[in-house]
């Protein structure tokens, strides 16, 4: 198991699999790649709020998220700095939710479970009070279901949100986190 550091401004490489990646915190300079990825059809279709995002709204939303202590926003890149994807944890009193999206270019390459595993390690290190992470996955989103199961998330229950059925999976903090 990795020895996760609290400092995510420093690069963290993972060498499992053919493609290496590192994770770092998102910054305002990442606004455009985050916007493009978040607005892709497949990403919107599989989100709880499926509406397209407007650039102006994104520019208001993102700075708020980045300075919100209840949001842990990570991006994944190749060692050559190609953007692989985003992982966002939102902490609230009720629960901590996670979302992931991978760019078209890097989908289907078996990267996402490793990215989820390393992201959760960093998250738990930075949020010692949080005991588990919840993923709400559209029941038809097979790639996502497979990914979260592979990363150790366990099925909990169903939830109907905005007339769509989501399967709720949980990752519980273990002794290593």
Ligand X SMILES: CC(C)(COP(=O)(O)OP(=O)(O)OC[C@H]1O[C@@H](n2cnc3c(N)ncnc32)[C@H](O)[C@@H]1OP(=O)(O)O)[C@@H](O)C(=O)NCCC(=O)NCCS
- Sites of contact with ligand X (CB under 6 A): 42-43, 46, 99-102, 107-113, 135, 137, 141-144, 146-147, 150
Q: Angle, to 10 degrees, between the axis of helix 31-38 and the axis of helix 55-66?
A: 120
The CB-of-171 to ligand X minimum distance in angstroms stands at 13
Q: Which two tokens stand for residue 107?
A: 């989908």
Buried b (16+ CB within 10 A) or exposed e, 1-24: eeebeeebeeebebeeeebebbbb
Spatial distance between the Cα atoms of 34 and 39, rounded to a whole number of angstroms: 8
The CB-of-175 to ligand X minimum distance in angstroms stands at 26
Q: Which residue lies nearer to ligand X by CB, 141 or 177?
A: 141
Q: Which residue lies nearer to ligand X by CB, 31 or 117?
A: 117
The CB-of-80 to ligand X minimum distance in angstroms stands at 18
Q: Which residue lies nearer to ligand X by CB, 16 or 32?
A: 16
The CB-of-167 to ligand X minimum distance in angstroms stands at 9
Look up residue 16 and give its DSSP letter: S
Spatial distance between the Cα atoms of 131 and 78, rounded to a whole number of angstroms: 30
Q: Which residue lies nearer to ligand X by CB, 23 or 102?
A: 102
Q: How many Å is the Cα radius of gyration of the chain?
A: 15
């Amino acid at each position: 198991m990795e020895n996760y550091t609290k400092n995510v401004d420093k690069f963290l490489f993972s060498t499992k699999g053919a493609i290496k990646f590192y994770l770092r915190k998102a910054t305002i300079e990442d606004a455009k790649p985050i916007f493009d990825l978040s607005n892709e059809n497949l990403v919107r279709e599989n989100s709880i709020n499926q509406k397209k995002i407007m650039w102006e709204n994104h520019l208001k939303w993102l700075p708020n998220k980045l300075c919100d202590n209840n949001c842990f926003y990570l991006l994944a890149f190749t060692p050559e700095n190609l953007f692989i994807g985003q992982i966002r944890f939102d902490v609230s009193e009720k629960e901590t939710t996670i979302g992931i999206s991978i760019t078209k270019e890097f989908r289907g390459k078996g990267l996402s479970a490793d990215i989820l595993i390393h992201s959760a390690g960093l998250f738990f290190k930075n949020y010692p009070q949080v005991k588990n992470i919840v993923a709400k996955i559209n029941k038809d989103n097979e790639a996502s279901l497979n990914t979260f199961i592979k990363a150790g998330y366990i099925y909990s229950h169903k939830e109907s949100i905005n007339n769509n059925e989501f399967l709720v999976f949980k990752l519980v903090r273990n002794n290593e986190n």
